[in-house]
Amino acid sequence: MDNRTGLVLIVNLLGVGGAEKHTIQLFNRLNSKKFRLGLVYLKKYEHLLKQVNFHQGEVWCAQFKNGWDRKGLKILTEWLNRFEPKIIVTINEYPLFYGILASRMMRRKPKIVEIFHTGSCGLIDALKLQMLYRWFFRAADNVIYVSDFQKRYWMQRGLKGKKNIRIYNGIDTNYFVDDFSGSDKINLRKYLNLGENDLVVGICAVMRPEKNHLKILSVQKKAKDKNINFKLIMIGDGPLRKKIENKIKRLNLENDVRIVGTVNDVKPYIAICDCVIMGSRIIENFSLAVLESMSMGKPVIAADIGGVKEQIDNLENGLIYKVNDSDSLIECIKKIQNENYRKMLGMNAIIKVRKYFDLSEMINQYEKLFEKIA
């Protein structure tokens, strides 16, 4: 007889994104001796599937279509009835919607835990969350937010469960270490046609409008006109790539920007950066990319959005600038030109991440919560 607690994680898809990476971290790291684990992704988008540890438990795609999918709901309910979880963990509002509906049709009613990653968002999405999904949040036994800022923001707007807590995102600080040799970094810089003494700034984000790549290009051009020069590495891909490439040409920045696209391992590219920019204008909540960069000793220049002030102490372990403020961002880049200051920020960033945002502590908090619920 299997006495482990049945627990299923339901995520929309396994595309590139912070919520998806966080879900895979949970599935891969939860104690499979305590929990009988399942991972369900609703739509067949599988870029991160290769990162899943299949030895942990069952992994299944429900093959949902876009929009309302009655057939998908029926198949999901049948799968859950067979698995018989005590706890269903949904990731964001779309899986919560279907998780709640499926649980109502199951033979044995599980507890519902929602992990909510969304920060502030556009007006239409915010209205959808508040008018439609709020009722599904209220049906959840627990809602987990990933920053204090986000918890306050959404609870004030009615998005709350029966119980509500915050558990910070965490990263594997033993993995995200800059352990590359000087020659490794020089060689990768040469491969990307970057000089040893160039100031290299990274952006590690999906190319979507909210990540603000286009604005950062404008800032780079403005800085260059003021003789503040740096090279930009864009790690990631997405629907905005063509517009980004066109703007690079229009601003004559072909020699100043490198697009490396989606890579299996971001570490070597972060390692050759002198700092990393997180320039989001909306939605960003508690960025894993920020934590990964900090863990590798790279100072992060971040827009003042979401829970960034819980990650970065301005002027101590990173720099924070006003959202969409070009001059504020350029001032941060001017500060970062000082190598000694960069190193000081980077060392303090490592200390902060290891103390507060280590993956093992995050997993420990989730396991304690799931054991309590079960």
pLDDT at 242 over 70: yes
Per-residue confidence (pLDDT) for residue 123, from 0 to 100: 62
Question: Per residue in 315-349, pLDDT tens?
Answer: 999 999 999 999 999 999 999 999 999 999 999 99
User: How far, in Å, CA of 299 to CA of 187, rounded?
Assistant: 22
Q: How many CB atoms lie within 10 A of CB 368?
A: 11
User: How far, in Å, CA of 78 to CA of 88, rounded?
Assistant: 14
Question: Per residue in 6-17, pLDDT tens?
Answer: 999 999 999 988
pLDDT at 279 over 70: yes
**Overall fold of domain 5-170+358-373:** Rossmann fold (3.40.50)
User: How far, in Å, CA of 64 to CA of 12, rounded?
Assistant: 9
Cβ-Cβ contacts under 8 Å for 327 (sequence gap 6 or more): none
pLDDT at 126 over 80: no
Cβ-Cβ contacts under 8 Å for 142 (sequence gap 6 or more): 111, 112, 113, 114, 161, 162, 163, 164, 165, 369, 373
User: How far, in Å, CA of 259 to CA of 51, rounded?
Assistant: 23
| Helix (DSSP H) and strand (DSSP E) numbers for the chain | 15, 13
Cβ-Cβ contacts under 8 Å for 124 (sequence gap 6 or more): none
User: How far, in Å, CA of 173 to CA of 291, rounded?
Assistant: 9
User: Which uninterrupted H or E stretch holds 116?
Assistant: strand 111-116
Q: Put residue 140 in one of left, alpha, beta given phi > 0 → left and psi -120 to 50 → alpha.
A: beta
With 0.75 as the threshold, say if the pTM is over it. yes
Per-residue confidence (pLDDT) for residue 51, from 0 to 100: 95
Candidates 3.40.50.1980, 1.10.287.70, 3.40.50.2000, 1.10.1740.10; CATH matching 182-356: 3.40.50.2000
> 254: which 2 tokens?
């072909």
Residue type, 152: R
What angle do the packed helices 288-295 and 18-29 form, to 10 degrees? 70
Please state whether beta strands 163-166 and 142-145 pair in parallel, antiparallel, or not at all (unpaired): parallel
Q: Locate the domains of the chain by residue range.
A: 5-170+358-373, 182-356
How far is C-alpha 228 from the geometric centre of its chain's CA atoms? 30
User: Which uninterrupted H or E stretch holds 70?
Assistant: helix 70-83
User: How far, in Å, CA of 71 to CA of 93, rounded?
Assistant: 19
User: Which uninterrupted H or E stretch holds 343?
Assistant: helix 339-356
Per-residue confidence (pLDDT) for residue 345, from 0 to 100: 98
What three-state secondary structure class fits 28?
helix
Per-residue confidence (pLDDT) for residue 291, from 0 to 100: 97
Question: Per residue in 38-95, pLDDT tens?
Answer: 999 999 999 999 999 999 999 999 999 988 999 999 999 999 999 999 999 999 999 9
Q: How many CB atoms lie within 10 A of CB 254?
A: 10
Write out the DSSP string of 135-163.
Answer: HHHHH-SEEEESSHHHHHHHHTTT---SE
User: How far, in Å, CA of 52 to CA of 132, rounded?
Assistant: 32
The span from the first CA to the last CA of the chain, in angstroms, equals 17
